[in-house]
A and B are shown apart, each in its own frame.
Chain A
Amino acid sequence: MKNMKFSPTRLSAKVSAALAMSALIPVLAQAQTPTLSNPTVSAILDGYYQSENRLMAERTEGFGLGETELAFSASIDDMFYGKLTTVFESHDGTSEVNVEEAFIQTMALPNGFTVRAGRFLSDIGYLNNQHLHTDSFTSRPSAYRAFLGGHYYDDGLRLSYIAPTDLYWSMGVEAFSGDSLRAADEHGEREFDSTGVYTAFTKFGGDIGIESSWQLGFSYLRNENGQLTPEEHDEDEHEEEHVEDEHAHSHSASYTGKNTYVADFVFKWAPNGNYKYQHLTLSAEYFRVSDFMVPELHDEHEEEDHHDEEGHAEGNSKDYHQAWYVSGVYQFSPNWSAGLRYGELDSQLQHEEHFDAQELKETELSIAWHNSHFSTVRLEFSHQSNVGFDNDLSDNAITLQYVMALGAHGAHQF
């Protein structure tokens, strides 16, 4: 749709331009449709300034580049679709380039089946399959940072199915190499399974009247390499390494376990179902990562627990980590939106032969200005309080971020 201002000079310029270009239009129009020779190209620019370091966060103190991505996608033929996403990041003076997506997907399998192969974002949970630039906060909730390394993408295979029902019902299974979800292995001696991660997920969803929509999901992740590595510990060495881990930028999970369960819920509302002006998004997720203790360690630990039942009030025999968050984001005009998120992480840190409980509570308030659908500038205040993380990180952090999309920007997920 073109802007309708008819100043005479402009009009005549337009007419002559139109005449000159008319021969080109068919060519250009054809070139607009993504094809193999002309794939959809899009770029995301993400830069930020953050006042303090945050635990397990993707962004570090100072100026940096977030997920600056370049993506190509196209239908390969009538059967296959392909996408390649490369991500450039820079933190603390180090830059890295990662291939985050490089997958093919079937387009024409019958009966609602789809196969995806290559490197892609796992479909567990609500946020994981969404690209970071669509988030309403500058960092993922602690659940994602602790258990999935921010967001979990990996090399593997997915089979998914969508049922032919009015109630949305989809389900799928995935198998991944699971390298980034391996348990820590200080001495590099452990033999890990080369196919380490299997997932299964199902999602339901629908509308309530014309104004509201919802989606509910359940996921399970089996991590063959998630249990801790059994070994004797030199405490000092271990301690050092772990602290370093917390600071360093890493795509690996900080806490792993054999079994991970996720439940997620999303609710969206817009007056008259019209998302142009105002809309509300409420979401919540719960993660439980369990069975990280190796059997002999578990026994020893329980024994020990019995011994100092009195001395160690916080002495801790939990064989699971858990985390959850709730978030609400309201867009009150096409130009402005605000979000509030609260999350807790409850994890166990191994100290020689016993485990210490850790707790992290985070509150984030973000305010975003959108000049258009494609440009966002966001200011976020975050407050965190922790117990058991040997860290002198400040309680409050301020982040200023921009996220902008160039080129043919793909459609967003719900």
Chain B
Amino acid sequence: MLWLWGLTVHINFKLLISGVLLSLSQQAFAQVNIFTCEPEYAALAEELAPDARIYSATTAMQDPHLVQARPSLIAKMRQADLVVCAGAELEIGWLPMLQMKAANAQVRSTDKGLFFAAEHVDTLDKMANVDRSMGDVHSLGNPHLHFSPERMLLIAKALTKKLVQLDAEQTEAYQQRLQSFSKRWQAASSKWQEVASQLKGMKVIAYHSSFRYLFDFVSIEQVADLEPKPGLPPTSTHLASLLKRAKQGDISAIVVASYQDLRGANWLAEKSSLPVIVLPLSVGGNEQSSDLFSLYDNVLDLLIQEYNAQKLLAL
């Protein structure tokens, strides 16, 4: 019996060794470690590199401007092969500190494992002269890019290029993923375009310029902002001026993102009897928005429902 026992031990040992080796090699070669600043880029990475280990520093319930350079984020960035962020100074209040503390040279330069989405597309609202009295504005343009289908496709292409640069062995797999994503994205885009035509001419009051690209894409006009100046919370005098504006009667809704405070919006809604629409800022901003596709579907749904209801009321 003893020799039999010896054999099993031997076999198991061999199995164990090969198992360890396999997982080691997977760690070393197969799994790219991706750190994203915002959930929309985690979702995009999920589409383009589903085998990667992906971590998002923020959720759709958090203001991406104001993030703590907290220990967990430093630890994650320390291990990252690729860092994907919106750029255009959106993360200027926390990303440099993470880079400094994480001591990971791989993700410090865009030549290597750092990727800024805004560098690969044209941003809206670039400003030549920025002054703090204007509020929290970025000279490099609006960084909330992810509601522009066209731009997201360009970003997907650039990100694939970056993945190929970092992980050349899997070039083919990345190209295939991009192809599949592009096909589905373009099909969805033309569907969204069609749906969005119902929204043309809609006027809203919104909080911050979080949905600048969405409104640009679906031809909604943001006639006023709940913030008196970008980054500053609504004040009572500012809300009073918004109420005056709302009473002109051409505005259909107040739009707020999932992380934004509802108090100002609710006050205005009550006084002006306008509906408040809470849109998910990004993937995970509500139950329905589980990936980039369902995020767009859901956001358009919410807008159309409210707009149609308003039109019915008007009749």
Contact = CB atoms under 8 A, between A and B. Distances in A.
Interface of A: 1-6, 17-18, 21-22, 24-25, 28-29, 32, 78, 81, 105, 107-110, 112-114, 160-170, 203-207, 210, 213-215, 268, 272-277, 333-335, 372-374, 410-414
A372 B140 contact: no
A377 to B, nearest CB: 16
- Which 10 pairs between the two chains have the least Cβ-Cβ distance? A205-B71, A168-B71, A21-B128, A411-B97, A276-B63, A108-B105, A168-B75, A1-B209, A272-B61, A207-B72
Interface in B134-149: 134-140, 142-144
29 contacts: A1-B136, A1-B137, A1-B144, A1-B208, A2-B134, A2-B209, A3-B135, A6-B223, A25-B126, A25-B128, A107-B108, A109-B103, A113-B103, A164-B78, A168-B72, A168-B74, A206-B72, A206-B75, A210-B59, A214-B71, A274-B66, A274-B259, A275-B63, A275-B67, A276-B261, A277-B261, A372-B132, A372-B232, A373-B66
Given A114-B103, A164-B79, A3 B229 contact: yes
A113 B103 CA distance: 6
Contacts of A413: 69, 97, 101
Contact of B96 (A3, A207, A210, A411): A411
A4 B136 contact: no
Interface stretch (B43-51, B87-95, B152-160): B87-95
B136 A205 contact: no
B74 A162 contact: yes
Contact of B66 (A160, A276, A374): A276
A275 B225 contact: no
A2 B97 contact: no
| Chain B interface main SS type | loop
Contacts of B71: 168, 203-206, 213-215, 414
A109 B129 CA distance: 37
Contacts of B261: 276-277
Point out which of B69, B74, B144, B222 has the most chain A C-beta atoms below 10 A from its C-beta.
B74
A2 B230 contact: yes
Given A108-B108, A205-B72, A412-B97, A2 B127 contact: yes
Contacts of B59: 210, 272-273
B26 interface: no
B78 A162 contact: yes
Contact of A4 (B67, B109, B222): B222
Contacts of A109: 103, 105
B113 to A, nearest CB: 13
B70 interface: yes
A209 to B, nearest CB: 11
Contacts of A272: 59, 61-62, 259
